[in-house]
């Protein structure tokens, strides 16, 4: 396939300062069992290519689902025309980006290929667990799903660059909803929106804890139904990894995206409170805060060998000892801003152009056990599993909610509470980081659904984190 594509592309690549082709083939299967009824399997195979042309300082992207030589020629012509139309009218002379022409292959192994099971067996795998949700008549809805995806990409440049990358993604989920006396509570195993998402095969189900998860989420929903609302007040919060992933994503990841800082997203996703002069000196968090961009963990959801502009992917500290070091910006943004970044120019599909995305963004583990973190809190709430998220245009004033909370009083875990919410301001919140969990509290999670960009793109992000303690946070519960 690569040989044919390479030959066809090089035959149609127009004379230009730079020309590249990105080919993506993605096949997926979504299996859902709801209330013990298997829904029709949803299968998909997407194939398409995007041609990039930089010429005379202008830039053009053209995408096509027609992969015949004629289709590629037509796309190359459109990209060339757009480059000509934009030359001299762009935010930046794109020739100055000096995009690389890499060569290589990235294909991490899969320990337990889902294809070793038949589709019926894969359905039964989740159906069997979901049946365990039915423990009480107050459980009014329950559902399990298994989403597998295989992606094969090629990146070719007219001057000889040639990269192939293959990925296997697996995303399990299970949830139960309980209702009584006008109240509804839902408990999931890692978030309603597929927070447990990784690269690999069926071995991920062990890490997810599929066995026993059905009964656990049903009991969890009933527990919340009986729990009091989270109290209102200023107190500590102990955020577990399935909430930390959202906290990292929204109030570190997005504000550090260089294209936002450069203003590209101001019409849609927003700007950033971070400015270029902050890198190297700004205190983003307490000295306990270490944040890495890490595309090198094979099991994490957004690991890769090269980004979609051909930059080799490497682990980098973005924040070290609380000090802001570098942004999330790919080759084009780095050239525009004149600042070092990371390999994070990514497109969500063959029909969208690369922009700055966060990929894997992790808080590094600290030194405290979970018991030590709990013992350090006089009054606070442990919160698990994100359910609500909202943050301002500049990624500063946020309000987040979780499925499950548990009060901490006098250094001990106390009663479970429902609807735990908290709000704060990014620029000061991370400075209140007072405890970072050790490796025993560290979990590898993420999201398949990060939305950004014009035209819009939904992309995969990975977030790994230990449990973290923050002090003096505004906490509240649900409406009466």
Site for another protein in 439-458 (CB under 8 A): 451, 454-458
Between CA 262 and CA 106 the distance in angstroms is: 31
Quick one: which segment of 38-46, 128-136, 156-164, 316-324 binds another protein (CB under 8 A)?
A: 38-46
Q: Is 390 an interacting residue with respect to another protein (CB under 8 A)?
A: yes
- Smallest separation, CB 239 to another protein (Å): 17
Cβ 466 vs Cβ 366: under 8 Å? yes
Q: Is 389 an interacting residue with respect to another protein (CB under 8 A)?
A: yes
DSSP string across 308-342? TTSPBP--EEEEETTEE---B--HHHHHHHTS---
The two tokens of residue 269 are 């996703």
The only residue of 115, 278, 312, 349 in contact with another protein, by rule CB under 8 A: 349
| Site for another protein, residues 51 to 90, rule: CB under 8 A | 58-68, 71, 74-75, 78-79, 81-83, 85-86, 89-90
β-bridge pairing 379-391 and 233-239: parallel
- Smallest separation, CB 252 to another protein (Å): 17
Residue 120 CB: number of other CB atoms within 10 A?
Answer: 11
The only residue of 128, 397, 413, 438 in contact with another protein, by rule CB under 8 A: 397
Q: Is 47 an interacting residue with respect to another protein (CB under 8 A)?
A: yes
- Smallest separation, CB 147 to another protein (Å): 14
CA distances, 395 to each of 97, 257, 328, 390, 476 (Å): 28, 11, 15, 9, 21
- The rounded Cα 145 to chain-centroid distance in angstroms is 19
The two tokens of residue 223 are 């527990």
- Smallest separation, CB 365 to another protein (Å): 29
Q: Is 177 an interacting residue with respect to another protein (CB under 8 A)?
A: yes
- Smallest separation, CB 324 to another protein (Å): 19
CA distances, 117 to each of 11, 21, 125, 126, 127 (Å): 42, 35, 10, 13, 14
The only residue of 108, 128, 209, 270 in contact with another protein, by rule CB under 8 A: 270
Between CA 39 and CA 400 the distance in angstroms is: 32
Q: Is 134 an interacting residue with respect to another protein (CB under 8 A)?
A: no
- Smallest separation, CB 451 to another protein (Å): 7
Q: Is 478 an interacting residue with respect to another protein (CB under 8 A)?
A: yes
The only residue of 183, 278, 339, 413 in contact with another protein, by rule CB under 8 A: 183
3-state secondary structure of 241: helix
| Site for another protein, residues 282 to 321, rule: CB under 8 A | none
- Smallest separation, CB 145 to another protein (Å): 14
CB-based contacts of 223: which residues, under 8 Å, 6+ apart? 187, 416
The two tokens of residue 187 are 């408990």
Quick one: which segment of 13-21, 119-127, 287-295, 375-383 binds another protein (CB under 8 A)?
A: 119-127
Between CA 293 and CA 358 the distance in angstroms is: 8
């Amino acid at each position: 396939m690569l040989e044919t594509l390479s030959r066809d592309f090089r035959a149609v690549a127009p004379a230009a300062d730079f020309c590249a082709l990105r080919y993506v083939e993605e096949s997926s299967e979504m299996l859902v069992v709801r209330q013990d009824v298997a829904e029709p399997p949803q299968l998909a195979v997407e194939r398409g290519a995007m041609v990039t042309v930089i010429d005379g300082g202008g830039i053009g992207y053209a995408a096509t689902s027609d992969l015949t030589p004629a289709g590629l020629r037509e796309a190359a012509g459109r990209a060339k025309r757009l480059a000509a139309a934009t030359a001299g009218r762009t935010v930046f002379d794109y020739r100055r980006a000096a995009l690389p022409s890499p060569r290589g292959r990235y294909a991490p192994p899969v320990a337990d290929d889902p294809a070793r099971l038949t589709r019926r067996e894969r359905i039964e795998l989740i159906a069997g667990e979901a049946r365990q949700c039915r423990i009480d008549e107050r459980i009014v809805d329950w559902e399990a799903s298994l989403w597998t995806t295989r992606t094969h990409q090629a990146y070719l440049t007219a001057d000889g660059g040639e990269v192939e990358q293959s990925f296997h993604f697996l995303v399990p989920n299970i949830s139960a909803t309980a209702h009584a006396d006008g109240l509804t509570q839902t408990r999931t195993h890692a978030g309603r929106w597929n927070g447990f998402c990784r690269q690999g095969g069926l071995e991920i189900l062990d890490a997810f804890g599929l066995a026993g998860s059905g009964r656990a989420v049903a009991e969890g929903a009933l527990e919340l139904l009986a729990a009091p609302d989270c109290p209102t007040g200023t107190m500590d919060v102990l955020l577990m990894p399935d909430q930390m992933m959202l906290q990292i994503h929204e109030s570190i990841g997005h504000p550090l995206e260089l294209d936002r800082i450069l203003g590209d997203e101001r019409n849609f996703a927003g700007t950033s409170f971070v400015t270029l002069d902050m890198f190297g000196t700004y205190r983003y968090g307490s000295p306990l805060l270490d944040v890495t961009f890490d595309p090198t963990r094979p099991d994490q959801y957004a690991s890769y060998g090269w980004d979609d502009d051909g930059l080799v992917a490497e682990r980098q500290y973005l924040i070290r000892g609380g000090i802001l070091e570098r942004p999330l910006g790919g080759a084009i943004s780095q050239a525009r801003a004149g600042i070092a970044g990371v390999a994070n120019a990514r497109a969500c599909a063959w029909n969208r152009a690369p922009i700055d995305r966060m990929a894997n963004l992790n808080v590094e583990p600290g030194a405290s056990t979970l018991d030590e973190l709990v013992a350090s809190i006089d009054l606070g709430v442990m919160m698990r599993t994100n359910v609500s998220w909202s943050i301002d245009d500049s990624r500063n004033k946020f309000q987040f909610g979780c499925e499950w909370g548990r009060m901490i009083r006098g250094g001990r875990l106390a009663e479970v509470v429902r609807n735990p919410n908290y709000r704060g301001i990014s620029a000061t919140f991370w400075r209140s980081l007072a405890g970072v969990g050790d490796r025993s509290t560290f979990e590898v999670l993420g999201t398949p659904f990060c939305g950004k960009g014009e035209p819009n793109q939904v992309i995969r992000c990975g977030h790994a984190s230990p449990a973290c303690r923050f002090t003096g946070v505004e906490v509240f519960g649900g409406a009466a």
